[in-house]
Structure 1
Amino acid sequence: MQLKQDFFTQLPGFYSQVTPQGLTDPKWIGWSRDAAHLVGLSQPTESLLAQLAGNKSIDGACYYSQVYSGHQFGGYSPQLGDGRSILIGEAQGPEGSWDVALKGSGLTPYSRQGDGRAVLRSAIREFLISEALYHLHVPTTRALAVIGSTTPVWREQRETAAITVRLAKSHLRFGHFEYFCHSENGSNEKLTQLLHFTIKQHYPHLSCDKAGYKAWFIQVVKDTAKMIAHWQAIGFAHGVMNTDNMSILGDSFDFGPFAFLDTFKEDFICNHSDPQGRYAFNQQPGVGLWNLQRLAQALTPLIASDDLIYALNTYQTELVQHYLCLMRNKLGLYQPYLKRESQAQDDEDLALIGELMKLMQESQLDHTLTWRQFGQITPTQQHVCLRDDFVAKNDFDTWYLRYQNRVGVIDNIEQWQGLRDRANPQYILRNFLAQEAIEAAENGDFSVLEQLHQVLQRPFDEQVNMSAYSRKPTPEEAGIIMSCSS
């Protein structure tokens, strides 16, 4: 890898230099070929293994952990930082540069009471979800690899340490701006420095002045709204939407107790540590705005209040419009088949979508499989087998007639259905599938992880002999709930 060190050289005082704690008997557990391409790599070699495991230095690397703060479950923590992640720099690839982080590489000044390690199960889950979301076209960080070891760590029981090699266009979080606003005793020097670095690195078309600041924050608001619209459309629950887990670029970031919906339940909670449901599935849009408001508060020394409010007011419109676009694609309501939508039509389509989701919840239907099956029907069919899955069949009939009237006449049914198949995946990373891969890996069998990873790279395709990866979970499998333990 060719590394540059823009963050390290331009922002002294924004991090602490650290030394990775190596792994005993490191071994490759998972490897993403297309993520490797992003940073100019091809094969997972033994030399690279030693380097990314923290056992051997990397030419051009500067090892450091960033400092930031954040709102965690609504309460402000004045200093957090990378407690178990060490950055080595920005790797140069054919499509730009990517931050490279060794997540789980040992103690840092920000580890607090932790040991700075990640365990194999959490490393595998982060690897799989990063790559799964990417192939579902959801904005996300990437994962290059998982490295396992025999290094012992203790959680509820003895486990082994592992590292996820994370790639991100940026590791800057909302919490960075909160920290340098609230910890500088009224001085705006570092906050200004951070904002200028962010704009120059990631928004080079903008100027570092009042107009540029306003345009930048508007873009942050819109990117965040788009990310959450993707989550809601695909049925993804992040689980820990603290402001220190929010990427300034609108990428899905810092995965812990995430889950995709199995049975559709709008108030689904995927995090055992969140009994009140602050980060429940249906709360994510509101939390996204709340987090942006905390970011706006941190930016008040630099950006006029009217400009911040203006930007925040674009959130709902951006979220709804992007969600509508994604959901219309799932339903087959898209150009060139339909006329330009009006506000009245937007409202009608939102009601149509909402009523279908309500019927799905009442009938306890699987979210992903129901949408996939829906993609197989044509609006000219008067009776569809999907109808039999709904408890309130008369209500479904009423809804389906409205849907038929909305779609109208489709000239090229085959093309129309094909487009819907590209919007409704067959395969998602269900918790029970991840657990099967984890248990096999813990027993030394990495083939289950490799096969699952391969399936998730083609989520919209019908894959031969892969029906086990698209089935509904059993009641026991559906009951798997994760916590923030790593």
Structure 2
Amino acid sequence: MIKLETAYKGLREFKNLTGRPQQTPGAHFSRVTPEKSPAPKELCWSGDLARAMGITEEHKSSWLSLLSGNQESYNPAPIATRYGGHQFGHWAGQLGDGRAMTLGLYEGLEVQLKGAGLTPYSRGADGKAVLRSSLREYICSEAMYNLGVPTTRALCLVETGEQVLRDMFYDGNAAYEKGAICTRVAPSFLRFGHYQIHAANHELEELTELVNFTIDNYFPGMSIAQMFKEVVRRSAFLMSEWMRVGFVHGVMNTDNLSMLGLTIDYGPYGWLDRFDPNWTPNTTDFRERRYRFINQVSIAYWNLAQLKEALQAVCLESLDEALDQYPEYFHSFYQESVAKKLGLKTCSREFIDELFDLKYELQADMTLFYRTLMSVMEGKDISWQDAFYKSLSDADLRRINTWVTKWQREQKLQRIDPMIAFGIMNEVNPAFIPRNYIVQMVLDDLEKGDETSLRNLEKAIANPYELNEFTRPFLVKAPDWSTSRPGCSTLSCSS
């Protein structure tokens, strides 16, 4: 028997459930029951995470039964939490875990099923998830972990054996897709929206209880102001890490930002292939582009301001000073990050801006550009055209070479050992990222019953900084067809 501890112990449960989606005023969570999977099939299992959690091969079958929703009974009872949020800048009221269920704590980590059925917070949905979105979440969360980006993780992915109806682009073309459950793991899934819902509804006792719970469990010994300052710092660091690897979250609503500074909720995300700071993969955001790559930094600040307003309702000390430190935190983290990507000790904003313009105007591949710089350091013959999508003219090549000369001069001025610089660059410039088109090709193969490409992808994300037989084939520009294929350049919140 797998022994889980109760999550959110001491917080308020809503008990007047009707068995259908509803408002749950004055509560932090509601108890729920996962729906059983008719024909569960293990598709992915993170052996790395399982070992870290102390889960042995001997107990794997018991875990798979639990994680497919097929337990006869649950102790403790699973829960779904209540939260609110600003969606695309507008207050949306109560949202909550619409298809996520926390089973409990194991080795201090919250274990959560995504796609296991209805909760009081499912609104008009069915609480299920499809393989398309579940595989994307599994792959990206494990890839981000191995890239060194703060993130929730994924332990397991199972197909449920059920067909789930989804309208991928909300255009009236609904179709049945394979159902799936992704098991997510994190120290906590607390979001900004958990605090906002209580402040918005003037539930100050409940807000105070949640804040005290958060401090006791995740920020021990801190005041509310100190906790908020740490949330600001972690959020700034997270944004610098997204910038480092070219990640676009796609839906940075306040309910999708973590109190612990983790990447959370992998929905319509994407990776910068062609360096376009105004790009977003989310079709819902195509007109406003609120959550485009370059805007993520300022959106995190805006979201923190909303969290500040919620916490201020139960904090006598002003939180303005902590919020005001966000720009300084971010620029410090970001400049350090760019310096490492270039093998430098320090990097001026002017130098960063010049590089930014070059990558944008010549359409650099975010990943290949830095790996090509590493090849330059090794003295290898390189073709800059292989790292750019624009057809490079002689003037473009002169511009690139002029910048490279400046970069090499800067390394000499900073007296950096080339071997040390290369080692630093190799730690922050991935050879592999799970670009959307790669995951889409895996999904295409799975539809044909072929898991070979999935197994190769799992091996690639395990060592994304290493050039090996699994990562090397993808160290190329994204193919032309990926710019127009649904699931590659365009995604939605449908999942």
- Is TM more than 0.5 here? yes
Q: 1:87 to 1:213 in 2, by over 3 A?
A: same
Change in Cα spacing, 1:118 to 1:383, as seen in structure 2 (3 Å) is closer
Question: Given the alignment, which residue of 468, 471, 494 partners 1:485?
Answer: 494
CA distance in structure 2 between the aligned counterparts of 1:454 and 1:255, rounded to whole angstroms? 20
**Matched ranges for 1:22-171 at <5 A:** 22-43=36-57, 45-57=60-72, 60-92=75-107, 97-155=108-166, 156-171=174-189
Q: Tell me if structure 2 keeps the 8 A contact 1:33–1:42.
A: no
Q: Which residues of structure 2 form unaligned runs of 5+?
A: 14-26, 167-173
Deviation at 1:465, TM superposition (A): 5.8
In structure 2, what is the equivalent of residue 197 of structure 1? 213
- Shift, 1:443, TM fit: 3.1
| Equivalent residue number for residue 174 of structure 1 | 192
> Could you tell me whether the CA contact under 8 Å between 1:8 and 1:62 is conserved in 2?
no
- In 2, the alpha carbon distance for the partners of 1:418 and 1:382 equals 16
Matched, 1:287 2:299: yes
Q: Name 1:337's counterpart in structure 2.
A: none
| Partner SS state of residue 109, structure 2 | strand
CA contact (8 A) 1:141 1:252 kept: yes
2:452 counterpart (437, 447, 450): 447
Of 425, 431, 449, 1:426 maps to 431
Structure-1-length-normalised TM-score: 0.90
State the distance in 2 between where 1:446 and 1:315 align: 44
The answer for the alignment partner of 1:338 in structure 2 is none
Deviates more, 1:400-409 or 1:154-163: 400-409
Aligned equivalents of 1:434, 1:298: Cα separation in 2: 38
Cα distance change on mapping 1:399 and 1:191 into 2, 3 Å: same
CA displacement 1:122-162 (0-9 Å, x = unmatched): 11000000000011100000000101022111012011210
Residues in 2 aligned to 1:317 and 1:383: alpha-carbon distance in whole angstroms = 40
1:34-69 Cα shifts (integer Å, max 9, x gaps) = 111232213373332222111114663321100110
How many angstroms does 1:412 deviate by?
3.6
Match of 2:254 in 1: 243
Residues 383, 164 of structure 1: CA spacing in aligned structure 2 closer, same or farther, 3 A cutoff? closer
Structure 2 Cα separation of the partners of residues 382 and 133 of structure 1: 29
Runs (5+) with no aligned partner, structure 1: 207-211, 335-340
Separation (CA, whole Å) in 1 of partners of 2:207 and 2:273: 42
Deviation at 1:419, TM superposition (A): 2.1
Conserved in 1, the CA contact under 8 Å of 2:117 and 2:126? yes
Residues 23, 161 of structure 1: 8 Å contact kept = no
Q: Distance in 1 between matches of 2:383 and 2:65?
A: 55
Partners of 1:465 and 1:310 lie apart in 2 by: 47
| Cα shift at 1:219 | 0.2
**Over residues 159-215 of structure 1, what are the superposed CA-to-partner deviations in whole Å (9 max), with x where a residue is unaligned?**
12100000011111000000111123xx41111100000000001132xxxxx1111
- Please report how far the alpha carbon of residue 326 of structure 1 lies from its aligned counterpart in structure 2 after TM superposition: 1.1
1:406 aligned residue: 410
Equivalent-residue separation in structure 2 for 1:465 and 1:51 (angstroms): 32
2:24 is the counterpart of 1:19: no
Q: Is the partner of 1:7 in helix, strand or coil?
A: coil
- The structure-2 alpha-carbon separation of the partners of 1:278 and 1:34, relative to structure 1 and needing over 3 Å to count, comes to same
Superposition deviation, residue 404 in structure 1: 2.5
Letter in 2 for 1:87: T
Q: Which range moved further: 390-399 or 98-107?
A: 390-399
Q: Deviations over 1:48-106 (max 9, x none)?
A: 222211111466332110011000011101100010111111111xxxx1111110000
Alignment-mate amino acid for residue 79 of structure 2: Y
Matching residue's letter, 2:377: T
Could you tell me how far apart the structure 1 residues matched to 2:280 and 2:7 are?
39
Name the CA distance, whole Å, in 2 between partners of 1:2 and 1:316: 44
The verdict on how the C-alpha distance between 1:118 and 1:384 changes in structure 2, with shifts beyond 3 A counting, is closer
Q: In the alignment, what sits opposite 2:478?
A: 473
Mapped contact 2:79–2:103 kept (Cα < 8 A): yes
Q: Which amino acid aligns with 1:168?
A: A
Secondary structure (helix, strand or coil) at the match of 2:180 reads strand
Aligned equivalents of 2:384, 2:455: Cα separation in 1: 33
- Whichever residue aligns with residue 18 of structure 1, its letter is V
Between the aligned partners of 2:179 and 2:207, the Cα distance in structure 1 is: 36
**Equivalent runs, 1:276-425 vs 2, <5 Å:** 276-304=288-316, 307-334=318-345, 349-378=348-377, 385-386=383-384, 391=393, 392-408=396-412, 410=415, 412-425=417-430
Provide the rounded CA distance (Å) in 1 between the counterparts of 2:114 and 2:10. Answer: 22
**CA contact 1:15–1:67 (8 Å) conserved in 2:** yes
Shift of 1:374: 0.9
Worse overlay, 75-84 or 472-481? 472-481
Q: CA deviation at 1:266?
A: 0.9
Deviation at 1:399, TM superposition (A): 2.3
Assess, with a 3 A threshold, how the Cα gap between structure 1 residues 350 and 57 changes in structure 2: closer, same or farther: farther
Identity %: 35
TM-score normalised according to structure 2 size: 0.89
SS of the equivalent of 1:251 reads: coil
396-405 vs 79-88, which deviates more?
396-405
- AA aligned to 1:485 is S
Distance 1:106 1:417, change over 3 A: same
Letter in 1 for 2:479: T
Q: How big is the shift at 1:9?
A: 4.1
- 1:382–1:449 distance in 2 versus 1, CA, 3 Å: closer
Contact 2:456–2:470 (CA under 8 A) maintained in structure 1 = no
For 1:265 and 1:179, the matched residues in 2 are separated by 35
Q: Aligned AA for 1:367?
A: M
Deviations 1:240-266 (Å, cap 9, x if unpaired)?
A: 000011110000001101011111111
SS at match of 1:408: helix
**Alpha carbons of 1:195 and 1:329: their partners in 2 closer, same or farther (altered >3 Å)?**
same
SS of 2:111's equivalent? strand
Amino acid at match of 1:149: T
Letter in 2 for 1:5: T
How many equivalent pairs are there? 461
Kept after mapping to 2: 8 A contact 1:262/1:478: no
String of CA shifts for 1:397-431, please: whole Å, max 9, x gaps: 43233323321165642332122112111100100
Cα distance in 2 for partners of 1:411, 1:222 equals 29
What is the alpha-carbon distance in structure 2 between the residues aligned to residue 59 and residue 110 of structure 1? 20
Aligned 8 A contact 2:143 2:434 in 1: yes
